[in-house]
Structure 1
Amino acid sequence: MRRYGAIHIHDLVMTIQQCTMCVIKMNNKGQ
């Protein structure tokens, strides 16, 4: 249970990082 939670949080962090990179790229294109 604890292990699954850690993996879930890790996946969430990875997804947030990818979204952040996408937003930064879009902002750069906008400028």
Structure 2
Amino acid sequence: MSGSDHSSGFDQLRLMVKKVLAKPQREGEGVCC
């Protein structure tokens, strides 16, 4: 069950990156990918 643990970490990282990317993009376009 090590794969599941890895997925959790990736999910958190992706969420953080998405939030950071959504911040500047929100001002420019608003909704993307």
Per the shorter chain, which TM-score range?
Answer: 0.5 to 0.7
Once residues 3 and 14 of structure 2 are traced to their aligned partners in structure 1, the CA distance between those partners, rounded to angstroms, is: 17
Greater share of helix residues, 1 or 2? 1
Q: Does 1:27 align with 2:22?
A: yes
Aligned to 2:10: 15
Alignment RMSD, CA only? 0.9
Structure of higher RCO (CA pairs closer than 8 Å, 6+ residues apart): 2
Total equivalences in the alignment:
26
Once residues 24 and 13 of structure 1 are traced to their aligned partners in structure 2, the CA distance between those partners, rounded to angstroms, is: 17
Higher radius of gyration, 1 or 2: 1
